[in-house]
Structure 1
Amino acid sequence: MAAGDAAAVRACIAEHGPLVWSVARRFSASSAEAEDAAQDIFIELWKHAGRFDPSQASERTFVAMIARRRMIDRLRAAQRRPALKPMPEAMAGDEHATLERSAEAMLAASALATLDPKQRRVLSLAIGQGMTHGEIADALSMPLGTVKSLVRRALVAVRKRLLAERANTRGDAS
């Protein structure tokens, strides 16, 4: 596996998949999150396969150790993520700032309206509700990869629309 042999990688997944899955599932809040974690673990195993020393531990112990460490890293990263709080309704009493926020909100709403309904839904859950990709996948009964793709495409589409609007506004002002 350390040499990048595809057959060795398949053999590792076949032999140690149940172990990796059980570790990932034990540390994860959902099946979608566990699937994502299991993939991370196998990538980590592939990257560090050269460190395996059969005189130090069995292959199974090495896999379990890498899986456990990767899951602890994921938990720590999740704990460092700040808690999301809703933005106060009136952040400033300034009328100009309120009008500016209103214009930005209208522009964002028009950009969102151009999205495919599935893209709009996942983006709304991700940004509006602060849900993770895994939570969205569970809530909508979608594969995690599909959710990630929809969010990414939606963000790219909104960014293009906003940049085009900005360019039109600058062109009108000159």
Structure 2
Amino acid sequence: MVAAKAAEDAALLALVGQGDQQAMASLFDRYSGIVYSVALRVLKDTGQAEDVMQEIFIQVWKKPSAFVSGRGSLGAWLVVVARNRAIDSLRRRRPTDSVDDVVLAASTDLGAEAERNHLMEKVRAFLHQLPPEQQKSVELAYFEGLSHSEIAEKTGDPLGTVKTRIRLALISLRKAMHGSPSPGQTVQGEAS
């Protein structure tokens, strides 16, 4: 099912690259809800969330090749792009405020995205297997939207340590998502 959906997405993106408006409408119908939900969760403003969603789908229309299929699913890529654009928008909107107030709950169920829900459950289960320091750094970065510098400041850890923890966690996560050994076997240790 996941492979079939990935093949459909690839075919639709190829058609979008040829200017096919119906293919673009199909991609929009398939992913606009999740993109909007992520943007709304970060921004807490329906108008700005709609703007972020529109920017993302205009980007897909203009440059469908920006998505690299070998790095994951189109839905997951769009979620990450939506999160990043929303955080950027939030920072532009309130440059003097901290992004500490932005929280993306790890247990969020965005509804009809069964593939995403399955993937998120797998990620959550894997995160709980990471060393506590890596787990905390990843959660602060990806679920609370903090930058590496902000995480270092919040935890009191050196910036290099924070970056190493996140990098090791993401490498382990990538291996786990591709059916490699468990996290304890892929992470030998970390800088402290």
For normalisation by structure 2, the TM-score amounts to 0.38
The structure with more radius of gyration: 1
Q: Does 1 or 2 have the higher relative contact order (CA < 8 Å, sep 6+)?
A: 1
